[in-house]
Amino acid sequence: MEHLKQNVKNKCHSAFTLLEMSVVLFIISLLVLIILPNLAAQRKHASGVHKNAMVSVVQTQIDLYENETDSSKIDYETLEGKDYLTKDQVAKAQKEHIKIVGDKAIVGND
């Protein structure tokens, strides 16, 4: 009988109560509400930095091509064909709506 009482007492203390679980879930939900907006802002900032970096890369390659060939007709096909840009770089630049106008890389609003 004594052994049975001891087992029942141990079982009562080994589980979490509904209140404890509710508090933990509440704290987790608050942390999620704090973190998610920051993630979206960081993603937007990273996208802007990436776009600026791609404009810089394309402009640098335009300048290099211009200095080496004295050519005025510059487009993505020419830069890719002459190995100034890779196929992936051209695809990413076009995805970011970066256009070559004259001898400048600009961001379009398409």
Instruction: Kindly give the confidence (pLDDT) of every residue in the chain, 110 residues in length, as a single tens digit, with 9 standing for 90 and above.
Output: 666 666 666 565 567 899 999 999 999 999 999 988 888 889 999 999 999 999 999 999 999 999 999 887 899 999 999 999 999 999 999 999 999 998 899 998 75
3-state secondary structure of 61: helix
Residue 2, domain member (yes or no): no
Give me the pLDDT at residue 88, please.
Answer: 95
Residue 9, domain member (yes or no): no
pTM above 0.75, yes or no: no
Indicate the number of domains in the chain.
Answer: 1
Residue 6, domain member (yes or no): no
Four-CA torsion 36, 42, 43, 44, nearest 10 degrees: 110
Residue 88, domain member (yes or no): yes
Apex CA 83: angle with CA 78 and CA 86, to 5°?
95
Range of the structural domain that residue 88 is part of: 19-107
Residue 8, domain member (yes or no): no
Residue 7, domain member (yes or no): no
Residue 11, domain member (yes or no): no
Contact status, residue 74 vs residue 22, Cβ threshold 8 Å: no
Contact status, residue 107 vs residue 97, Cβ threshold 8 Å: yes
Residue 84, domain member (yes or no): yes
